[in-house]
Amino acid sequence: MRNIKLTIAYDGSSFFGFQIQPNVPTVQGILESALTEITKENIEVIGAGRTDTGVHAINQVINFRTNSKIPLEKIPTALNSLLPNSIIVKDAEEVSLDFHARFSARSRSYIYLVYNAPYPSPFLRNYAWYIREKPDVGKILDVIDVFKGEKDFTSFSKSDGEGTIRKIYDIALFERDPFIVFYIKANGFLRGMVRLIVRVLIDAGYGLIDRNGIESIINAKRRGMIKGIAPPYGLYLYKIEY
Amino acid sequence: MRNIKLTIAYDGSSFFGFQIQPNVPTVQGILESALTEITKENIEVIGAGRTDTGVHAINQVINFRTNSKIPLEKIPTALNSLLPNSIIVKDAEEVSLDFHARFSARSRSYIYLVYNAPYPSPFLRNYAWYIREKPDVGKILDVIDVFKGEKDFTSFSKSDGEGTIRKIYDIALFERDPFIVFYIKANGFLRGMVRLIVRVLIDAGYGLIDRNGIESIINAKRRGMIKGIAPPYGLYLYKIEY
């Protein structure tokens, strides 16, 4: 038995999210079909992060177990020839049998792309959140560290999960005109967490909420306090560390 | 009667080209429907360039005549609310009745995007030509000016047209790692001309053809001498000058 770790990128606008579902294209479903075809075994794929519909991945990590003897270096090419070009296998690695893409992960990082210009771009409609009004980046930088550290992020989740404590190691903003780029790294994320944080930070840039306001949302530990959410198509799963 | 000039951008991967055709989405068809809805008149759209299926536009120019009294500054917003987000109206201008988007154009320029990296990107599959092997950019720069000036470009056309003489004012290459960007400006282009030129220039970068080889293709004035063609999805109609 071998345990294979793959690093993959995908365009989330082509899929109904990562996790397999009946009758709709999902990243997991398409990967499992391709792996089953290559190995002639029933392959089950484990993903590090279950990205939602529309969310992209630059370096998603998955693993699967197989008895197939296919040489490691042939796996990316064999898969890429079967996969649609909205999914790319960038790397394959043989790992110990106890490696689990999701549970072994020590940290995950995401990038969120905001596009600020006088009018939206047809080329970015699936790849960045378009905002017409320019937020005050200084105001965002004034409050951004409020999210750092280990906290109960219930208020920043979309649905019930198994535990709501997460530790944010790093959160940063880069201006790359006409883009505002958010980077956020944590031991893990609740469902919708990055998008709710980005929404609140853009609101801070518009002067709609300040540090006290954000702190009271965090401390309330209650879902549904945040009006709106940044759309999924600006979000990119960037890196998983083990 | 008013004559309205619009500047529009569109993502060509959503359309079967600019020119109207029955039963498939085209830029012209969708624009005409939206304009007919706004003006309550049967609107006919004239485009500066008939981009092929998959070809994008950053600043396509179109014009249409109307008796509608809709204020000029309301046209972009009214149209953008009706159009799919793969087409954006950037600007509207009232022009003299004899202005014709196609025949009044003095020059057209295109950009062609080549993506060179160890593996293709799922995000660029509709927006750049992916090439794995790095071409020698110096070799391309050595020959690129061979296309400049007024010539018979029959060998660089995909189909019969009305005359084959065109004048290339400028042709340039910019390296923006991992992209190679071609810029080309002419009084007009034959069908497939930019993509055939880019194909030959990349071949020059691979050492497959030199200046003499390109000159003999030009001088032959015969279609079908070029093996392959750069794909449509790397091509962007960039600017029309009047």
For B107-122, the pLDDT digits (tens) are: 999 999 999 999 999 9
**Considering only residues 12 to 71 of chain A, which have any Cβ-Cβ distance to chain B shorter than 8 Å?**
56
Kindly state whether residue A203 falls inside one of the protein's structural domains: yes
Binary contact (B85, A127; C-beta < 8 A): no
Q: Which residue of A has its CA nearest to B76?
A: A119
Confidence band (pLDDT; 50, 70, 90) for B159? confident
Last residue of a domain, one of A95, A120, A136: A95
- What's chain A look like in SS3? CEEEEEEEEECHHHCCCCCCCCCCCCHHHHHHHHHHHHHCCCCCCEECCCCCCCCEEEEEEEEEEECCCCCHHHHHHHHHHHCCCCEEEEEEEEECCCCCCCCCCCEEEEEEEEEECCCCCCCCCCCCEEECCCCCHHHHHHHHHHHCEEEECHHHCCCCCCCCEEEEEEEEEEEECCEEEEEEEECCCCCCHHHHHHHHHHHHHCCCCCHHHHHHHHHHCCCCCCCCCCCHHHEEEEEEEC
User: What CATH number should be reported for the domain holding residue A205?
Assistant: 3.30.70.660
Is A161's pLDDT higher than 80?
no
User: What CATH number should be reported for the domain holding residue B59?
Assistant: 3.30.70.580
Binary contact (A122, B80; C-beta < 8 A): no
A179 and A212 co-located in one domain? yes
Kindly state whether residue B167 falls inside one of the protein's structural domains: yes
- Beta-carbon count within 10 A of B134 CB: 12
Binary contact (B125, A86; C-beta < 8 A): yes
Q: Which of B30, B123, B126, B176 to mutate to test the interface with A (most CBs of A within 10 A)?
A: B123
Q: Which residue of A has its CA nearest to B130?
A: A85
Closest alpha carbon to B9 in B238, B233, B193: B238
* pLDDT at res. A94: 97
Binary contact (B86, A9; C-beta < 8 A): no
Binary contact (A122, B85; C-beta < 8 A): yes
Helix or strand (DSSP H, E) at B108:
strand B107-116
Confidence band (pLDDT; 50, 70, 90) for B75? very high
A193 and A232 co-located in one domain? yes
Please tell me if residue B81 touches chain A, with a CB cutoff of 8 Å.
no
Please tell me if residue A85 touches chain B, with a CB cutoff of 8 Å.
yes
Partners of residue A113 in chain B, C-beta under 8 Å: none
Q: Which domain holds residue A36?
A: 2-95
A234 and A174 co-located in one domain? yes
Q: Is B233 helix (H, G, I), strand (E, B) or coil?
A: helix
∠ CA(B76), CA(B89), CA(B26), 5° rounding? 125
Count of domains observed in chain B:
2
Distance from CA of B134 to the nearest CA of A (A): 18
Confidence band (pLDDT; 50, 70, 90) for A160? confident
A70 and A122 co-located in one domain? no
| Stretch among A151-160, A177-186, B56-65 having the lowest mean pLDDT | A151-160
- Beta-carbon count within 10 A of B237 CB: 28
* Phi, psi torsion values for B201, nearest 5 degrees: -70, -40
Please tell me if residue A195 touches chain B, with a CB cutoff of 8 Å.
no
Q: Which residue of A has its CA nearest to B87?
A: A122
Which of A76, A85, A120 has its CB closest to that of B122?
Answer: A85
Candidate list B11, B52, B170, B177, residue with the active-site label: B52
A222 and A162 co-located in one domain? yes
Please tell me if residue A124 touches chain B, with a CB cutoff of 8 Å.
no
Confidence band (pLDDT; 50, 70, 90) for A162? confident
Last residue of a domain, one of B95, B117, B140: B95
Partners of residue B80 in chain A, C-beta under 8 Å: 119
Closest alpha carbon to A155 in A227, A230, A223, A228: A223
Please tell me if residue B86 touches chain A, with a CB cutoff of 8 Å.
yes
B229 and B147 co-located in one domain? yes
The pTM assigned to this predicted structure is 0.92
How many CB pairs (< 8 A) connect A and B?
44
Is A139's pLDDT higher than 80?
yes
Kindly state whether residue A102 falls inside one of the protein's structural domains: no
Binary contact (B123, A56; C-beta < 8 A): yes
